[in-house]
Structure 1
Amino acid sequence: MNAPDSEAGKGLKVLETGPDAAGQRLDQWLSAALGADFSRNRVQALIKLGAVQIGGKPVTEAKRKMAAGENVSVDMPEPEPAEPRGENIPLDILYEDAELIVINKPAGLVVHPGAGNWTGTLVNALIHHCGDSLSGIGGVRRPGIVHRLDKQTSGVMVAAKTDLAHRALSEAFADHGASGDLERAYSALVWGIPPRMTGTVDAPLGRAADRVRRAVVPEARDDARHAITHFTVREKFGEGRPDTAQASLVECRLETGRTHQIRVHTAHIGHPVIGDPDYGQAFRTKANRLPEPLKTLVKSFPRQALHAGLLAFRHPATHILMKFEAPLPGDMQELVRGFRNP
């Protein structure tokens, strides 16, 4: 393996493969060539982003076999911080003690640092608020985090402040409350009115074609993960009116906790979450046929209308059953009022 032979510009690193590269996977070779700061996972992410070129052409297959004498250029990202730093970001704290903290997360707040969001996250806020008590709890990138909500989903979250709390809460979330008292309920404003007031969606989830989204997949697929969502219709809007004005406020309770589970499952049964940019695209034109001012309200709603309204768990130290609720945030309340009185 040869050292970088030039720096073709800011952030661009150019390398040439030596005889030892022949037959190696691109991600394997490139991770070794770039050094300890670039793990194989990080290199794979760069490849997927199109940041790696061989012979002047982008390569997006991490498993591509290398040959000697190839020119490989990498559009290097800005250096990542070694670990998150505390930032004075306001927190809506519902409860706090020496073991844990419960917050009402606003929509728009990313839970932990990652690609494109190395600052301004809930983790940065927790480090500032909790100080050294979070050090080492749950890993460098995700100190204290035992579960997550999507960036644009609001609602109740708990974070651990000690190893004891982190272990106990992580176990509770890992088995989704099957062996304990974990309870989670979400409010979702969805398009249309389900035919039944209560129901269950039992459909395995796996990666979609773009590898970021999730989709209902055959159970036999290698990446299929068991997923069950129970729903109850709490309020119906627009019964007897044109279909475009119909919507429902639905409570969803999770028996499993897969990525995007509620959003995928509601879309799967034909009632996607209003405002969902990933799973509700087929329903976007419905807003065009709504009466004003509801039409403008729906079209300008900046996120999926999903809120984690209830979280209950047994305290890891006292073993007392604790229950926390957060009302619908203002933007969802306004949307509900709009459908009540279109």
Structure 2
Amino acid sequence: MPGDSGWRWGRARNAHLEWEYGGHGGRQEHGLPACRGPFRVNLCLLAARSHEAVAFTWKVALVAALTLSAGAAAQVRDASDEEGVGRIDVSAEREGTPHELTVSPGLATLLLSDSPVARWELTGRENFRRVMEGTDTLALLPRSDVKEGTRLKLTLVFADGAAPARAELVLVVHPALAQRQVELYRHPRSMESYQQEVRQLRAEVGRAQAEVERLRATQARPDGLTGLLASGVMMDEGVAFRDLTLTFQRTQKEALSMRRVTTFRAATRAAIRATLQSHLDVSWRPMGAALVDGTGRTVSPLGIWPQEAIAPDAEGLIILELELPSSKALGPYTLKLWAEGGMHAVTVRNISFP
């Protein structure tokens, strides 16, 4: 891909595919990100199946056209948007080496290939509510009840016969950390792609350095209320709290259940204190958490306390501390907790802050 003659991702890099299920005769309304260049959705493949598929194709075309007309504003992306785009590089030297791609129940994932694909070979299609195939684009919507930890094989057979002839992927089901958009590069990487990777690495180093400075500053401050006041985390209004025990929505899971949830908010920080009941026959320790708002934006906690595991068939306390995007970001949110490998996940909806 030399210079400007190579293909570009265009607006497809910053778009998310969201599918909402409407009540129009059992059909589904789909939103499709605007793609250009080599990443154009081959709608003609969808139109050949039935009269209803034709109607659905026109809906997709209309949404795509409206998205395309959104203007140059969609091209302005900050560093956090860049992080949401995954990248897979395949080459003839590593042909046959599988690459992992994370998907989540009920969340759409868009896979974009820089080369035309003759055939998409997907095992376990029954685990997906919708699979849309194009010449260089694949959209996947896993079923909401697919089990976390499930691993499914996806093979891309390229159309031009050049090496590598195929790419092997493994779809790994995680309760929350879906890769919403992934770009698959088959040709040798250009200088521009290396520069982009360097920019991303520099951004990661900058975030790590900022975290180190934050930890150093925290260690230098006193503990207790003095530390809260000195750091500016708590101002004159103190800490507000809200008991959500009667209002939060539990996800019915036999192995784990949430007993009580309380949220707290100070000047610059927020926290969630939850009591969790485990009915597992093994210890359970939260390895990750995410707070997801109504638009799909994820807020990662600054930390999870305590680090000790909850004993089998016992009750335990979990505290999460967060920095919300703004003082007006009160919710509602969906809280997701999971153990190592995304196993034994807990989902709690209707989380709000005072």
The TM-score by the shorter chain falls in which range? under 0.3
Greater strand share, structure number? 2
Tell me the TM-score normalized by structure 1.
0.23
TM superposition score normalised by structure 2: 0.23
